[in-house]
């Protein structure tokens, strides 16, 4: 039998409510938190392996070629890559490249996508649960562990976050404004298609169909909304393939093959194995704390509280999460970053019953967060101070799998100031006064922002030295031939992208052109791969690797007959 609403705590509902005498200060503080979380880690470092470097390489080629129809990477066409996200990154680089490094300007695409995601989550929360809930999904989302550095890398999955947040808002809005809701849904489907291709758009279409199972969406208004969605999505889905076909029919065929359902589910020859339980195994940490809070919501509603499960605020995020999880689990080549859009419906579902969370559970989560983030922040500061004075300790370097202990971070005024301000703000916010369930989520989001902020400010030079390729490229360029091409073997996409960006080197891939006539050969090797040249006609002239990383190395060979041009 359904229970009454008194289970909700009125004091909790006012914790982040838009009403009250301090409304403007609350909103300003929450907005500042969102800005800090979005911007920290986006700027001040080179492109990093692997998604960040690869997608920047595509954006850089777009900028160089002025071609937004056929994505390229280091001179090679990649028609299977959708153009929207790297296109936005290229536009950011073109607009702001004069005042900041191109790679930093390109990451403005991340800032835009994350800002849209948070805004649309807020709108969806308000539409589904009321005005007092508009900040809760945002705080839950910011606190999710899976976002960590993945949300701050140039990757189309970050663009998908905004597309799925728009879809969630559109589905919710279609219940009372079917025209606008339908048009926004069409925009979301088109954006997903242009970010990651047909599979991402197809998931949204499956969600739209599945919602017909529920009474709230099984009516003429929703049918009309789907009609408007079709009208809005059709040109967005059709225009890029049409332009691609007009440019090159062979490239269009290659793109069409990449969209194959059989290929997506690993049914083609040479496809990676499907791991059906990959996401289920990783969701407990990836979606923490959204996942346990979403489970709490379902448990409370299943017992009949607050109209039970038969409400749009439960049905919509639940069906979105289930369909996304099922489809992704059946797909080939699972990767954690692909699951980022799952955090959108889970954050909405988690927010629905935060006010009913038992004070014991809420307090445990709050203290766990305070202790965890406090301890992590203390360790980060202590290790940084020790590294400044004595260098990175060897024992810590082994934990980080760093083969070169002794790194000393530079003293930089702005990163240190930002880190100190973040630390002081966290200390002020987690004071033990006026605890509430909503305050728990605020504390968690601020704690996550603190640790991420320390990681991406005072420790950024160390991370950049290990994950960037600038030093490798600059060392290589001294040994490159002046009057011949350079072939490459086993050189990955991130490495090819950054060699083009840093030193203008576009190699001839001997996997594609084995009969090349280049007098230099650059080979990428793993930790235990031998340095044996392809044949006796080559000799080794250079070897390089990233600082502290022995998982990959680069060897340059030359033909002895070319000695005079080196």
Q: Give residue-wise pLDDT tens across range 467-523.
A: 999 999 999 999 998 878 999 999 999 999 999 999 999 999 988 888 888 989 999
The residue to which tokens 């279409």 are assigned: 205
The two tokens of residue 350 are 């988690």
pLDDT at 20: 56
Chain-centroid distance, C-alpha 1: 42
Which helix (H) or strand (E) covers residue 103, if one does? helix 102-106
Q: Answer whether 0.85 is exceeded by the pTM.
A: yes
The residue to which tokens 């090159």 are assigned: 248
φ, ψ (nearest 5 deg) of residue 251 = -65, -35
Whole-number Cα distances in Å, 426 to 230, 369, 451, 454: 46, 12, 10, 12
The two tokens of residue 515 are 């009969």
DSSP 106: H
Does residue 5 register a pLDDT over 70? no
The two tokens of residue 372 are 């965890």
Read off the pLDDT of residues 206-221 as tens digits, 9 standing for 90 and up.
999 999 999 999 999 9
Cα(208)–Cα(202) distance, integer angstroms: 10
The residue to which tokens 């838009």 are assigned: 18
Which helix (H) or strand (E) covers residue 192, if one does? helix 178-196
Please give the torsion angle defined by the CA atoms of residues 483, 489, 495 and 496, in that order, rounded to the nearest 10 degrees: 50
Secondary structure of 511-530 in HEC code, one letter for each residue: CCCCCCCCCEEEEEEECCCC
Please give the torsion angle defined by the CA atoms of residues 46, 49, 53 and 55, in that order, rounded to the nearest 10 degrees: -140
Angle, helices 290-302/343-351, rounded to nearest 10 degrees: 50
Read off the pLDDT of residues 106-139 as tens digits, 9 standing for 90 and up.
999 999 999 999 999 999 999 999 999 999 999 9
Chain-centroid distance, C-alpha 560: 46
Read off the pLDDT of residues 521-533 as tens digits, 9 standing for 90 and up.
999 999 888 888 8
φ, ψ (nearest 5 deg) of residue 157 = -65, -30
Q: What is residue 541's three-state secondary structure? A: strand
The two tokens of residue 144 are 């999710």
pLDDT at 511: 87
Cα(381)–Cα(393) distance, integer angstroms: 14
Please give the torsion angle defined by the CA atoms of residues 454, 458, 459 and 463, in that order, rounded to the nearest 10 degrees: 110
Total Cβ atoms within 10 A of residue 234: 13
| 565 band by pLDDT with thresholds 50, 70 and 90 | very low
CB 524 within 8 A of CB 495: yes
pLDDT at 273: 80
Whole-number Cα distances in Å, 88 to 21, 95, 108, 217, 492: 40, 10, 8, 34, 24
Across 294-309, b (16+ Cβ under 10 Å) vs e yields bebbeebbeeebbeeb
Whole-number Cα distances in Å, 67 to 56, 70, 190, 246, 429: 15, 6, 20, 14, 48
| 22 band by pLDDT with thresholds 50, 70 and 90 | low
pLDDT at 537: 79
Cα(388)–Cα(410) distance, integer angstroms: 7
| 405 band by pLDDT with thresholds 50, 70 and 90 | very high
Does residue 340 register a pLDDT over 50? yes
Cα(446)–Cα(423) distance, integer angstroms: 10
The residue to which tokens 């998931």 are assigned: 203
Determine the length of the chain.
566
Q: What is the CA radius of gyration of the chain?
A: 26
Q: What is residue 565's three-state secondary structure? A: helix
pLDDT at 517: 85
pLDDT at 432: 60
Q: Which of 17-21, 225-229, 231-235, 330-334 has the lowest mean pLDDT?
A: 17-21
Cα(74)–Cα(354) distance, integer angstroms: 49
Does residue 69 register a pLDDT over 50? yes
């Amino acid at each position: 039998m359904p229970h009454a609403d008194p289970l909700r705590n009125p004091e909790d509902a006012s914790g982040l409510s838009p009403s009250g005498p301090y409304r403007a200060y609350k909103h300003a503080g929450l907005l500042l938190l969102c800005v800090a979380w979005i911007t920290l880690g986006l700027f001040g470092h080179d492109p990093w392996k692997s998604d960040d470097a690869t997608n920047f390489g595509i954006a850089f080629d777009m900028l160089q070629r002025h071609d937004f129809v056929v994505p390229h990477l280091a001179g090679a066409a990649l028609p299977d890559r959708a153009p929207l996200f790297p296109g936005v990154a290229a536009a950011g680089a073109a607009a702001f490249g004069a005042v900041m490094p191109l790679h930093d300007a390109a990451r403005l695409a991340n800032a835009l996508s994350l800002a849209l995601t948070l805004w649309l989550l807020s709108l969806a929360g308000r539409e589904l649960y009321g005005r007092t809930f508009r900040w809760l999904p945002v705080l839950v989302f910011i606190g999710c562990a899976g976002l960590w550095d993945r949300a701050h890398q140039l990757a189309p999955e970050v663009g998908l976050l905004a597309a799925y947040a728009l879809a969630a808002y559109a589905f919710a809005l279609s219940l009372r404004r079917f025209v606008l809701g339908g048009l926004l849904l069409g925009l979301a489907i088109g954006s997903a298609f242009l970010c990651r291709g047909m599979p991402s758009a197809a998931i949204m279409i499956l969600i739209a169909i599945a919602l017909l199972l529920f009474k709230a969406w099984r009516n003429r208004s929703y049918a009309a909304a789907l009609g408007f969605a079709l009208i809005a999505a059709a040109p967005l889905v059709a225009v890029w393939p049409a332009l691609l076909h007009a440019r090159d029919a062979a490239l269009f065929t290659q793109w069409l093959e990449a969209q194959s359902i059989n290929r997506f589910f690993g049914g083609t020859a040479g496809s990676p194995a499907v791991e059906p339980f990959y996401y289920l195994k990783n969701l407990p940490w990836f979606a923490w704390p959204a996942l346990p809070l979403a489970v709490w919501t379902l448990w409370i509603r299943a017992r009949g509280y607050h109209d039970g499960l038969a409400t749009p605020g439960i049905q919509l995020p639940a069906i979105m999460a289930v369909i996304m999880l099922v489809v992704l689990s059946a797909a080939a080549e699972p990767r954690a970053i692909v699951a980022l859009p799952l955090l959108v419906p889970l954050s909405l579902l988690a927010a629905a019953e935060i006010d009913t969370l038992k004070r014991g559970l809420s307090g445990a989560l709050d203290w766990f967060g305070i202790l965890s983030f406090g301890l992590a922040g203390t360790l980060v500061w202590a290790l940084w101070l020790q590294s400044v004075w004595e260098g990175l300790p060897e024992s810590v370097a082994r934990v980080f799998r760093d083969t070169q202990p002794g790194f000393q971070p530079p003293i930089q005024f702005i990163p240190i100031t930002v880190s100190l301000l973040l630390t002081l703000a966290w200390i002020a916010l987690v004071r033990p006064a006026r605890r509430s369930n909503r305050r728990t989520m605020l504390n968690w989001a601020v704690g996550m922002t603190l640790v991420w902020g320390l990681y991406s400010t005072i420790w950024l030079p160390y991370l950049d030295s290990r994950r960037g390729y600038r030093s490798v490229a600059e060392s290589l360029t001294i040994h490159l031939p002046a009057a011949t091409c350079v072939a490459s073997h086993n050189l990955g996409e991130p490495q090819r992208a950054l060699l083009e960006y840093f030193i203008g080197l576009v190699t001839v891939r001997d996997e594609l052109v084995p009969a090349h006539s280049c007098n230099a050969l650059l080979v990428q090797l793993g930790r235990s791969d031998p340095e044996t040249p392809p044949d006796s006609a080559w000799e080794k002239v250079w070897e390089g690797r990233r600082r502290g990383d022995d998982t990959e190395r680069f060897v340059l060979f030359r033909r002895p007959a070319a000695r005079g041009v080196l």
